[in-house]
Structures are given as C-alpha cells and as structure tokens.
C-alpha cells in the first residue's frame, strides 16, 4: 500500500470497519495496540496512522511530525511488548508529498494462527476481538471459540509435520532406556520455507555442508547419517540420557527433535534452560545452512511442537541456577508441564539479530506458558540474555569461518 492508496481510501470515504482503522497520530492514549490484538484475533486488518476522521469516516490525510524515535521502530516495539503471543504484522512509513516533514504509517496485521492474542499493560491482561468498527473485550464464548480455532490450526500444523516426519521417517527418537521403541515424549523444531520447496540435492556435498553447520554451532556431531530418498538425519547425543536428531529434507526444511527432559529420581524433568539453548542453537544452524547453501534467503515458518505424555515437572537446577528455572521465567511459576504445545511463527534468518532471537524465544516460551495459565516473567529478558548473547557469538564466529 502506498500514499496514493491511502488518499484514495480517504477520498472514497472508506469507513472504519472489520479490517480497517484510522488514527490521527501515533499516541498511546488511543490504545491502538488493543486494536492490533483485536485484528489478530479476528480477520486481520490495517491501521492507518496520520488520518483525521469523524464518526468512523476519514476526512483528510494530515500526517504527523517526528517524535524523536523512528516511527517504525516505535510501532514495532510497542506491538512486541504489548501483544502475546507475537502476531504476524508489518509496518511501513511513507512521507507525504505535500509536506516532506510529515509521515503516515501503515500497520498491517495478519489473522492470527495462535489465538487468543492478549493485550498486556500495567498488570492488566485483556483479549479483544473486532466487531464492526469497534474492538470489544472477548466474552467466555468468544474465548472458547478462539481456543478452538487455535487447536484446529495446531492440528493442521501437526498434520503438516506428520507428512514430513511420519512413521517411516528416520526422524524419531527412542525411549531413554535405549530400546528401539519410539518415544511418545518429544519436542521438535521445524524451519519450513514459506515459498515453494527449495528442492535441495541431498548429495554428499549438501550433507557435508549441513554437518559442518552443526559442528560449528554444537561441536563435532559424530555418527553416520541416516538417509532416505527425501531426507538425511544426523544423530547427535550429548549424553546417554538424551537422544537428539537433526534433519534435512529435499524440500529445504530443517529440523531438530529430542527427548523433552532428563530422568531423575523424581521422574521426568523438563529443563527450560536446555529447551531454550536447543532452540537458539537450531536457529543458528538453520541460518548458517541457508546462508551457505546459497539457495534460500527468504522467510521461514518455525513450527514448535512439544508432547510430554504424562507430563513432567519443571527442573529449576541446583542452588545458584534458580534464575534459569521456571520460578523466574514464568509468572506465576510453573511447577509442571502437562499439556501438549504447538505453535507456529514466521522467522527471518538473514540477518539473525539479537533482538530477533529474543522475539522468537519469547514467542515460543509464551506458547508453553499460556496453556498452563501463566505468562513470561518481568525478568525474562535478563534471565535469557546470556544464552542469547552466547548464541549470537557462536553464529558470528561460524560465519567468520
């Protein structure tokens, strides 16, 4: 959408409605982030900043002057800070032809695939939907409908994953007792190109390149690749209790799967620190591979699925490491993981920045917390900063090679 399109909307008198909203300025007092959440929970929509109106009808394009902070950065930061999970959105800023000192901003929100989307401010958490030209707080029936929509979309995502990693695939892990029985307790990450399949040639050179990416981030992988016509799987085991496998498909999809925790005297324990580290490592490996393969540079869809049959307690670690445990990451604290989790977010691998790493990690952990009645704690960024910094350092070092 360009300036001429906005002017045409105003000239035609296109009223605010289910998928469009006008704001005269970028002001927090308008509570426009609530509208973002409402769009994500409904059919998506567009917010146009810099248009004056009356009674839901636009009157003229006025624009707004600089606010001391680059507008695109300001809008993006507020959406990320206020809306959980992070919706799929884009921001464009356009300078007025009639006055180059003023701008308008366009914030487009896609229909969400992980509803309900919650708006949070000052310890208040609300879910909004779009009804005509207004946003309204969701009632019980609407909330139930949003959760049903999420489950339906998650089921579709699961079916997509099953097509790529079905029963005949090598991309499975065994129970921790070293039997050949596939474990019902796993979590997996899949990075799937949004465009048509990349159609990689799964030959020796492609395998070598992917193996090198694993080694550059995780250290020597070892083991012999497991091959089929459409996939190559690399088995990586950091210890005897936790099998891990990386996968590479001819379609361009990269993947990681692992047993979801560690076995202790208390039973199965889910370790948030391990989960975060594996996800960060996987994003780094995928970023390196797509860069080095010289075949794909666009956006990907990151699928995260976690199934823990029978549940698992949260492992907080020994004294001195509590800050990485559930009591610090989640609010209120989580003591037990008892629900399957499926989430899907769009990720950009080039460049893979610290801020993006935080975004993706935050979105995935929020998907884990919310079904359990929790959200991320206020100290999340501080608690995960060290892990994110280490991941970026490893990535930069590997790219330097």
Confidence band, pLDDT 50/70/90 cuts, at residue 386: confident
Q: Is 51 exposed, middle or buried (0-12, 13-18, 19+ CB in 10 A)?
A: buried
Q: Residue 320's pLDDT is what?
A: 39
Which of 122, 66, 68, 124 is CA-nearest to residue 96? 66
The per-type count for the chain, helices as H runs and strands as E runs, is 9, 23
Tell me if 142 is assigned to some domain: no
DSSP 90-121: EEEEEE-SS-TT-EEEEEEEPPPSSPPPEEEE
Domain boundary among 83, 103, 136: 136
User: What distance in Å separates the CA atoms of residue 164 and residue 175, rounded to the nearest whole number?
Assistant: 21
**Who contacts 315 (Cβ-Cβ below 8 Å, separation ≥6)?**
261, 262, 264, 269, 270, 271, 272, 325
Residues 10 and 90 reside in one and the same domain = yes
Indicate if the pLDDT at residue 54 is higher than 70. Answer: yes
User: What distance in Å separates the CA atoms of residue 213 and residue 83, rounded to the nearest whole number?
Assistant: 34
Residues 203 and 319 reside in one and the same domain = yes
To the question of pTM greater than 0.75 for the whole model, the response is no
Residues 70 and 188 reside in one and the same domain = no
Tell me if 252 is assigned to some domain: yes
Hey, which residues does 118 pair with through a beta bridge?
84, 127
Residues 274 and 312 reside in one and the same domain = yes
Q: Residue 239's pLDDT is what?
A: 57
Confidence band, pLDDT 50/70/90 cuts, at residue 267: confident
Domain boundary among 77, 111, 136: 136
pLDDT (tens digit per residue) in 98-122:
888 899 999 989 888 789 999 998 8
- Say which CATH number the domain at 115 has: 3.30.950.30
Confidence band, pLDDT 50/70/90 cuts, at residue 37: very high
Residues 179 and 207 reside in one and the same domain = yes
Residues 237 and 183 reside in one and the same domain = yes
pLDDT (tens digit per residue) in 170-219:
777 877 665 667 777 888 898 887 665 667 888 888 899 999 999 999 88
Domains identified in the chain, total number = 2
Domain range holding 378?
A: 147-400
Tell me if 141 is assigned to some domain: no
């Amino acid at each position: 959408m360009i300036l001429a399109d906005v002017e045409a909307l105003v000239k035609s008198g296109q009223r605010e409605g289910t998928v469009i909203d006008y704001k005269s300025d970028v002001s927090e007092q308008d509570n426009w982030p609530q509208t973002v959440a409402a769009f994500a929970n409904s059919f998506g929509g567009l917010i146009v900043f810099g248009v004056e109106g009356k009674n839901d009808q636009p009157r003229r394009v006025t624009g707004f002057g600089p606010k001391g902070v680059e507008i695109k950065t300001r809008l993006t930061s507020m959406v990320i800070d206020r809306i959980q999970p992070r919706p799929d959105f884009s921001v464009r800023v356009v300078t007025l032809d009639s006055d180059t000192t003023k701008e308008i901003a366009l914030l487009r929100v896609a229909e969400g695939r992980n509803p309900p989307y919650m708006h949070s401010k000052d310890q208040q958490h609300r879910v909004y939907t779009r009804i005509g030209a207004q946003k309204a707080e969701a009632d019980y029936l609407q909330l139930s409908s949003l959760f049903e929509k999420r489950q339906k979309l998650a089921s579709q995502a699961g079916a997509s994953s099953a097509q790529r990693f079905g029963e005949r695939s090598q991309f499975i892990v065994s129970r921790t007792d070293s039997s050949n029985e596939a474990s019902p307790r796993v979590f997996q990450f899949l990075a799937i190109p949004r465009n048509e399949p990349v159609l990689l040639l799964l030959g020796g050179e492609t395998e070598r390149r992917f193996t090198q990416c694993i080694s550059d981030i995780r250290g020597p992988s070892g083991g012999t690749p497991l091959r089929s016509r459409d996939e190559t799987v690399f088995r990586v085991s950091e210890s005897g209790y936790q099998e891990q496998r990386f996968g590479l498909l001819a379609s361009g999809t990269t993947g990681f799967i692992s047993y979801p925790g560690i076995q202790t005297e208390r039973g199965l324990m889910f370790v948030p620190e391990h989960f975060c580290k594996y996800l960060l490592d996987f994003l780094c490996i995928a970023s390196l591979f797509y860069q080095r393969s010289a075949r794909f540079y666009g956006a990907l869809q990151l699928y995260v699925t976690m199934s823990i049959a029978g549940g698992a307690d949260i492992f907080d670690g020994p004294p001195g490491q509590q800050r990485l445990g559930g009591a610090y990451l989640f609010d209120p604290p989580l003591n037990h993981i008892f629900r399957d989790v499926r989430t899907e977010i769009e990720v950009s691998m080039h460049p893979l920045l610290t801020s993006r790493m935080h975004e993706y990690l935050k979105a995935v952990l929020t998907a884990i917390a919310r079904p359990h009645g929790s959200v991320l704690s206020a100290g999340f960024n501080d608690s995960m900063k060290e892990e994110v910094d280490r991941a970026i350092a490893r990535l930069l070092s590997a790219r330097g090679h």
